[in-house]
């Protein structure tokens, strides 16, 4: 166990609280909000490949919940801003559809919480979706947590809000 003064993402899934009230919008460089003692840890975490699921309530889906797979990768700059890519895969009937998006945002540490915010997204490419559906864009806020089931690994949990209709999706990803 690390002493309290060392960098740690000692947050657990049990401490996670969902809510957009903590959404962060930074107008200055994120460098000011990543304390020096967290820099190597944040660079390590942001350099990992992330895979997980996006979920939201949906009346148009049997079972009432839409679920898709997400993969994310980030490239962090010296000011704690990132560019990245997100691949979303969803199954509709027997067909799996895939879409690629570019993402931009920043990572941060506030108190004992570390996270990232996706502030912009742009669709790059994607399979044509059925039933007049289309790929959308979102913004999001996420917190990093230690993965208690896999020591030395991490979890990202948070929410994404659709730019099109405001739908809020819950996202959970692990480093792979």
pLDDT digit string, tens, across residues 45-85: 999 999 999 999 888 777 888 999 999 999 999 999 999 99
Q: How far apart are CA 54 and CA 135, in angstroms?
A: 14
Delimit the domains of the chain by residue range.
Answer: 22-175
Q: Which two tokens stand for residue 125?
A: 């490419």
Specify the fold of 22-175: Lipocalin (2.40.128)
* Displacement of CA 24 from its chain's centroid (Å): 14
Mean pLDDT, the chain, whole residue set: 83
**pTM of the full structure:** 0.79
> Does 36 score more than 50 pLDDT?
yes
pLDDT tens, position by position, 80-123: 999 999 999 999 889 999 999 999 999 999 988 999 999 999 99
Tokens read off for 37: 């003692």
pLDDT at 5 over 80: no
What pLDDT does 88 receive?
98
| Positive or negative torsion for Cα 59, 65, 69, 73 | positive
């Amino acid at each position: 166990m690390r002493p309290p003064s060392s960098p740690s993402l000692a947050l657990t899934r049990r401490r996670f609280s969902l809510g957009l009230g903590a959404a962060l919008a930074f107008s200055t460089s994120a460098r000011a909000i990543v304390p020096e003692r967290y820099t190597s840890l944040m660079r390590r975490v942001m350099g990992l490949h992330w895979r997980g699921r996006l979920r939201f309530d949906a009346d148009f889906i049997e079972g009432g919940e839409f679920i898709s797979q997400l993969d994310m990768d980030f490239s962090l700059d010296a000011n704690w801003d990132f560019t990245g890519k997100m691949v979303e895969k969803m199954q509709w009937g027997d067909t799996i559809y895939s879409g690629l998006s570019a993402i931009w945002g920043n990572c941060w540490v506030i108190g004992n919480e570390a996270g990232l915010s996706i502030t912009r997204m742009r669709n790059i490419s994607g399979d044509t979706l059925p039933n007049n559906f289309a790929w959308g864009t979102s913004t999001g806020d996420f917190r990093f947590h230690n993965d208690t089931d896999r020591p030395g690994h991490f979890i990202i949990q948070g929410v994404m809000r659709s730019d099109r209709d405001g739908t809020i999706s819950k996202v959970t990803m692990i480093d792979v």
